[in-house]
Structure 1
Amino acid sequence: MTMHERQQQNLGVVSGLLMQMFGRPKGLLGRLGGIILARTKRDFIQWVIPLLEVHPDSKVLEIGFGPGVAIQILAATASTGFVAGVDYSHEMVEQARARNAKAIESGLVELQYGSVEKLPFADDTFDRTLAINSLQVWFDAMAGLREMRRVMTVGGKIALGFNRSSGQSSTGLTEMLTEAGFIDAHLVKTEAGFCVLAIK
């Protein structure tokens, strides 16, 4: 095996470990990744959520909620509404349910295991949707965006947030949202990352 081949193999191993911790968290590494995400991403989450203009009676859906930090913040904001989440990681569903146990018990929050490409909700259910640092690991980003649009009410707002460590480029994202059927897609930047916003 050449030096280049060994380097490529090592990169593949590291990439696989990072995916297990942060991309599609799984097993012990996934649980550890969730703990790290909960501690390190709160400031960025608190920057993204106000961009959505959530009201007390808003119905909000988060895709890829991870350890449930944004769900917790959203539940406090949409206190008379409804907050739902779908995540592809059993470990993250478990962590997020523990973090939001009281809100789940009261019926304010509902968290499910599942895929963005096939959301378990009726058309026109949510007036706000978001995904933070997750679009880049979806199996089919366009299908996921179209599904998010399907479950949104007309005039509803979507936010896709990415911090600097996400590895996601901002290039082409507003065009993707437009292609998925959204309008008024635009980019907002901060030192910590960026967010793409649009309307159904």
Structure 2
Amino acid sequence: MVLETFLDRTFGRPTGLLGRLGGKLMAQSKGEFTAWVITELDFEPDDHVLEVGFGPGIGIQQLAEAVPDGFVAGIDASPEMVEQARKRNVGTIHEGQVELRYGVADDVPSEDDVFDAAMTMNSMQVWPDAVTGLRELRRVVKPDGTVAIAFTHHSGQSKDELPKLLADAGFDEIRIEDRGDDFCAFAEV
């Protein structure tokens, strides 16, 4: 019980000092895998992209580089992570290329069909309802867009349940790619 609370406050739902420490550790450990997921999404320079559960903002930073003429939005349920990500991405926020908000996956503050793609990494397992969150991602991504649901081996997430969750959320074209012990499900809208 104590270990679960520690891990949740550090990585799952980062709060307080443990959350700030967890954000720094995540920033050091997820960069290469995040870059791989972004490469697999194959963006156009002017695409609009959403990241849910952006943590310390490494993915937001890399997405902004991948879509230099586009727009990157992000929501995260941790005030500590929103603060860290804002500090990391202050330039692109000031330029209007990036917008970060406090929020949750099952209530994305966006109109329908706005984004060319959406991604999330190591966050779905802490959403209140995974299928509801996935439906929200499907709602805000344009037809023919892609949703990427990525997990590092630290997440504890099983890839075996992903196809059913994605199908229950309305996705029918689903592929799972492995990269060592890490994996990502790509679903077409």
TM-score, normalised by the number of residues in structure 2: 0.98
Deviation at 1:49, TM superposition (A): 1.2
Q: Determine whether 1:184 maps to 2:165.
A: no
Following TM superposition, the consecutive aligned residue runs of length 4 or more in structure 1 with deviations greater than 4 angstroms are none
How far apart, CA to CA, are the structure 1 residues paired with 2:47 and 2:157?
A: 28
**1:91 maps to 2:80:** yes
Q: Distance in 2 between matches of 1:122 and 1:95?
A: 26
Which range is displaced more, 45-54 or 60-69?
A: 45-54
Q: 2:66 aligns with which of 72, 77, 89?
A: 77
Structure-2 separation of matches of 1:138 and 1:51: 24
CA distance in 2, matches of 1:143, 1:81: 27
Q: CA deviation at 1:183?
A: 2.4
Cα drift, residue 192 of structure 1: 3.6
Name the SS of the counterpart of 2:158 in structure 1.
coil
- RMSD value, Cα: 0.7
- Aligned-partner Cα distance in 1 for 2:168–2:43: 25
1:138 to partner: Cα distance: 0.5
Structure 1 residue 41 corresponds to structure 2 residue 30:
yes
State yes or no: 1:197 paired with 2:186.
Answer: yes
Equivalent position to 2:132, from 134, 143, 147: 143
Length, aligned pairs only: 189
For the residue of structure 2 that corresponds to 1:117, the secondary structure is helix
Partner of 2:117, secondary structure, is: strand
Q: Deviations over 1:23-59 (max 9, x none)?
A: 0100010000000000111111111111111111110
TM superposition score normalised by structure 1 = 0.93
- Could you tell me which amino acid in structure 1 is paired with residue 83 of structure 2? E
SS in 2 for 1:172: helix
Write out per-residue CA displacement over residues 41-78 of structure 1, whole angstroms, 9 at most, x where no aligned residue. 11111111111111111100000000000100000111
- Following superposition, the deviation at residue 104 of structure 1 comes to 0.3
Paired with 2:169 and 2:99, the residues of 1 have a C-alpha distance of 26
Identity of aligned residues (%): 49
Q: Give a deviation string over 1:93-139, Cα, whole Å, max 9, x none.
A: 00000000000000000000011111110001101000000000101
Structure 1: which 5+ residue stretches go unaligned?
A: 1-11
Q: Which moved more, 1:45-54 or 1:65-74?
A: 45-54
2:18 pairs with 1:26:
no
Q: Which residue of 2 aligns with 1:6?
A: none
Letter in 1 for 2:171: F
CA distance in 1, matches of 2:68, 2:181: 28
Question: Pick from 104, 118, 125: which aligns with 1:115?
Answer: 104
